[in-house]
Structure 1
Amino acid sequence: MSLAEFEPPEQQVAHFPAEGLSGEEVRERLRAHRAADVDWRSGRIWSLVYSAGPEHDDVVHDAYREFAAENLLGPTAFPSLATMEKQVVWMLLDLLGADPRTSGGTMTSGGTESMILAVKAYRDRARAERPEITDPEMVVPVTAHPAFLKAGELLGVRPVPVPVDHTFRADPSAFAAAISESTILGCASAPCFPYGVVDPIEDLGAIAASYGIGLHVDATIGGFVLPFARELGYEVPAFDFGVPGVTSISADMHKYGYGPKGSSTVLYRDRELRRYQFSAYTSWPGGILGSPTILGTRPGGAIAGAWAAIVYEGKAGYRAIFTEVMKATDRLHEGIRAIPELYVLGDPPVSVFAIASEQVDMMAVADRLESRGWWIDRQRDPDSIHLIVNPTHVPVVDEFLRDLGWAAGGAPPAGSTDGGAALYGVSARLDASTDVEAAVLDQLESRYDS
């Protein structure tokens, strides 16, 4: 039996096919699988996909295909990849104000890996320099990405939560109070994902330095857009290596760097800290293994595509991209201010923000927007919808604002529904009476088993 004979289509991968399909049949199947996907090219989704336009994407995808088979696990076999990785890191260090004589970093597969590696570096340095710490801790604002919590689980570093103030930024006093003799690092966001605001990095950096600990800044979203928005005249808080207390930064290529998925960076003010990120295994029969990141195999396409994105655009190209993005953001903010029921949470400096209301039910607003073909991310504390603006949204700003006004105007009063629990990256929510953690795990299982 061939793969083509499996029916219905969703069962076509349930058994290993006895015979394969032609290349054209495979492409047809891929297109069929995509039929139910959101139309991101038309700007209908406000997260997950970052695109700078067809011409840019073609350059990046061509670079990815050119190096799709190569593997940076073997840097001596593929010095081209080793060179491109170093150059991507050097270019990001330059953009973020590091001293090239002393700083360093590596590429990674994404922001989560970058943050896990940073926590590993601080943990292993503490093991070497502060062996009296047996239960290490890190100070983590509640708005920081859960990747820090995942790092803590994997590496045995206890996260100590820090509340935010009325501006949704980490409270410096609470941050200082959370530091103990077991603290090995503090964490901050530039910006945080939920509200798009930048933590008070200068204050947190000064506190961290006074206690002799490092401060890692998660700039996975902001690493590109914040520097260029500042160049364009927008008021951007200090967040990078220009702040003395900042000792490491994670910055994604595959978000606002417009590189391919699977490309990020972790960067260090002092490359001596980077050494603690690395792993070495010397007694394996297969040979001595040195590993700079979590992954063993390191896909060449992601590295080449990231390199191609930067050298294709240069500062002038990124400046033009973010001119478009920020103008669209300004139009959205202006349009939201004209809708009486709605407001933007906090004071986000760039193109990541959340819309809330004290008058209407925001979960119902999201439902109504989805009825008109928009994919909407929902959030809690407070109930809100989340937007990340990209060039794909420039042509649809006016349409979205019209639909947003319609959705708010017809939504029930705030608190009318049970609200439920919003799921990150999923256009859905869980019932308010649900055991949320168990329900999320059930949903993950069903994704693979049904």
Structure 2
Amino acid sequence: MPATIRERVRALSAFETVKTLLFVYVVFTQSLKAQRHLRARGFRQTFSDFWTWLCQRVIFLALRLPAAKQKVDSQLGEAALKIENSLVPKGPDVVRHLSLPAEGRSPEWILPEMDKMDGEAVKHTNWKGGRMSGAVYHGGEDMQQVIVDAFRKYCVSNPLHPDAFPAVRKMEAEIVAMCLRMYNNPTGAGTTTSGGTESIIMAVKTHRDWARAVKGITEPEMVVPISAHAAFDKAAAYLKIKLHSIPVDPETRKVNVSRMRRAINSNTIMIVGSAINFPDGNMDDIPALSKLAKRYNIGLHVDCCLGSFIMPFLDRAGYPCDVFDFRLEGVTSISCDTHKVKGNVLSFLHLNWTDLDAFCLHFGGVYIVRIRTKGGLYGSPSMAGSRPGALIAGTWAAMQYMGQDGYLESCKNIVGSAQKIVRAIREEIPELYVLGDPPASCVAFAARDKGGLNILAVGDKMSERGWHLNGLQKPAAVHIAVTRLTVPVVDQFIADLKDCVREVKVLSSSMSSEEKGEEGNMVALYGLGNSSAVGPAMVEKMVTAFLDALYKA
């Protein structure tokens, strides 16, 4: 055989070998990913997800037919208009400020104009009356004055320039130190953020960067309870991290630890637990999750944003609970909010690493440092560059004003009121049951008889009485996050809840199934989400319409 032919044969053989190796590599890596996915989700959940996806594709194809598309677009348009009308004031008396005034307005004009806007509001919730679930954490007129005075003193300060505003730098460092001690990690580190969502995103980024530097993980994954805050979904989307959502026990409402363990693989950078979670106010088994994190050498973030300044005082207030903070070796970061009790709007990310190298790399995931910039050296402790120093000053002032005794008293009042609601539902409202065993400030309740009482209709009836509550799904439920404002009206809440349950029972007995589906906003929105395979997609469109309406002047 001529040499040139042999060379071509060898080259072709080498090419085929490379193709084969590449094929084997692709099949192996994709099979490994599929195996990890199946291990995390299980065959039943994977099949359910696939079946839902298939149903969605079929229904979406059907909805492209002209008649069906016209009907759906019409109904969504009506829903969007209803949302807009509920948010955007309209009428001849409404004045809109769409461009800068030719001449500056006087202070005597500005404040009355703001008052007028409150009067124009389509539906202005009287949050001072204590009928709003969470959202507003007002500590009283005395506390408000302390915070406002601090705002006024430091209204133009910017922590990005600590040399120009040394007092703000000092206050921020002291806030972090006080919070670290509160969560039993006085030698740790932390930073302030604009809110719980930013704290969670920074914690996820930090674990991602640590895992890449220490373990070489380039396709990171994290494992979170299905009850975890939506900020983890945001973090996964922003930071390109695969997220596994693990179900909670239907009775205890704690994340299934065995399922979480099964979802951990060599690409896992962190797991998550809540103390407490937002949907039903329950706390995951943090000690068990800590052991899991230590066993697999991964991070454990504890989301204390809703528990904030209540959870650390539970034991002293007479409401003992499991350990959830840095006393557990596996806990590597905690986020908490100062505004969940006393009206500030800062949040904190606390860090804890025992290995020095890992700690430096981890903390480097929070700090953003750039040397090769035309503007010179640049260092920023979190996502934001310039930050409002007034918020830091207000937080420091509020924490000094409250002290441990103040937070302890608030904890007793808030948790005592929440437990009063729990007892009333369990002992006096047989049609309802409490989800899990909530240890702190948030209580969720659902209908005991699935075929009878519509709990979302109960929520709508409570709305008619001025209560601003949160609707939930899977299972359908309603929750209230108790604040200091709720404490004086908790008896009225219980009485109204009893009345609304009775009203819905009477109405339901005389309504057709179609009429039941046309009740209030909770029924319409959360009922749609569970109505069909494309229900969640329709809800997403309605939420998008809501977000669009927010920016309609």
Whether TM exceeds 0.5 here: the answer is: yes
| Structure 1 unmatched ranges of 5 or more | 1-6
Check 1:74–1:242 CA distance in 2 against 1; reply closer, same or farther (3 A cut). Answer: same
Match of 2:154 among 61, 67, 74: 67
Kept in 2, the 8 Å contact 1:190–1:239? The answer is yes
Local SS of the residue matching 1:62 = helix
Measured in 1, the distance between the counterparts of 2:520 and 2:378 equals 44
Give the drift of 1:449: 3.3
In the alignment, which of 114, 122, 140 is matched to residue 207 of structure 2? 122
1:219 positional shift: 0.4
Q: Which moved more, 1:55-64 or 1:65-74?
A: 55-64
Q: Look at both structures and tell me which one has the larger radius of gyration over its CA atoms.
A: 2
Q: Higher helix share goes to which structure?
A: 2
Cross-structure match for 1:365: 458
> What is the deviation of 1:334?
2.6
Aligned pair 1:86/2:173, yes or no?
Answer: yes
Equivalent position SS for 2:209:
helix
1:383 to 462, 473, 476: 476
Query: Paired residue for 1:318, among 381, 390, 407?
Result: 407
Distance of 1:311 and 1:449 partners within structure 2: 40
Give the match's secondary structure for 2:460. helix
Per the TM alignment, residue 366 of structure 1 is displaced from its structure 2 partner at its CA by 1.1
> Would the aligned equivalents of 2:457 and 2:519 in 1 still touch at CA under 8 Å?
no
**Distance change >3 Å, CA 380–CA 419, structure 1 → 2:** farther
C-alpha contact (below 8 Å) 1:277/1:293 kept by paired residues:
yes
Question: C-alpha separation between the residues in 2 aligned to 1:422 and 1:196?
Answer: 23
Verify the 8 A CA contact 1:421 1:436 in the aligned structure 2: no
Q: 1 CA distance for matches of 2:457 and 2:519?
A: 12
Q: Is the 8 A contact 1:72 1:299 kept in 2?
A: yes
In the superposition, relative to structure 1, how do residues 84 and 419 fare at CA in structure 2: closer, same or farther (>3 Å)? farther
Q: Percent identity?
A: 38
- Letter of the 2:544 partner, please give it: L
Aligned to 1:269: 352
Q: Distance in 1 between matches of 2:441 and 2:133?
A: 11
Verify: 1:31 aligned to 2:124, yes or no.
no
Structure 1 counterpart SS, 2:551: helix
With 392-401 and 204-213 compared, the bigger mean Cα shift is at: 392-401
Match of 1:405 among 493, 498, 503: 498
1:374 corresponds to: 467
Aligned counterparts of 2:301 and 2:295: Cα–Cα separation in 1 = 15
Q: Which residue of 2 aligns with 1:151?
A: 235
Deviation at 1:33, TM superposition (A): 2.0
* TM-aligned CA distance change 1:441 to 1:206, over 3 Å: same
Contact 1:422 1:430 (8 Å CA) reproduced: no
Matched to 2:347, the amino acid is: S
The structure-2 alpha-carbon separation of the partners of 1:428 and 1:392, relative to structure 1 and needing over 3 Å to count, comes to: farther
The one of 198, 205, 230 aligned to 2:283? 198
When residues 429 and 301 of structure 1 are mapped into structure 2, their CA distance, relative to the original with a 3 A threshold, is farther
> One-letter code of the match for 1:404?
L
Q: How is 1:135-284 mapped onto 2 (pairs within 5 angstroms)?
A: 135-166=219-250, 167-256=252-341, 258-261=342-345, 263-270=346-353, 272=360, 273-284=362-373
Write the letter of the residue equivalent to 2:409.
Answer: A
**Which has the larger displacement, 325-334 or 144-153?**
325-334
8 Å CA contact 2:434–2:443 kept in 1: the answer is: yes
- SS of residue matched to 1:27: helix
TM-score scaled by length of structure 2: 0.75
Q: Secondary structure at the match of 1:280?
A: strand
CA displacement at 1:429 relative to structure 2: 5.2
Structure 1 contact 67–301 (Cα < 8 Å) conserved: yes
Give the direction of change, closer, same or farther, for the CA distance of 1:139–1:252 in structure 2 (3 Å limit): same
Instruction: After superposing the two structures, state which structure 1 stretch, 227-236 or 182-191, moved more.
Output: 227-236
Structure 2 gap segments, 5+ residues each: 1-90, 354-358
Amino acid corresponding to residue 109 of structure 2 in structure 1: E
Distance in 2 (alpha carbons) for counterparts of 1:428 and 1:27? 36
Pairing 1:285–2:369 present: no
- The number of equivalent residue pairs is 438
Say if 1:17 and 1:196 are closer, same or farther in 2 by CA, change over 3 A.
Answer: same
Residue by residue over 1:191-245, the C-alpha shift from the partner in whole angstroms, topping out at 9 and shown as x without a partner, is: 1110111100000110111001010000011131012121111121211111111
Q: Is the 8 A contact 1:418 1:431 kept in 2?
A: no
SS of match in other structure, 2:315? helix
1:445 is aligned to: 548
Shift of 1:15: 2.7
Distance 1:419 1:212 in 2: 51
Distance 2:254 2:458 in 1: 26
Residue 39 (structure 2) aligns with: none
Instruction: Kindly report the root-mean-square deviation, in angstroms, between the aligned alpha carbons of the 2 structures.
Output: 2.4
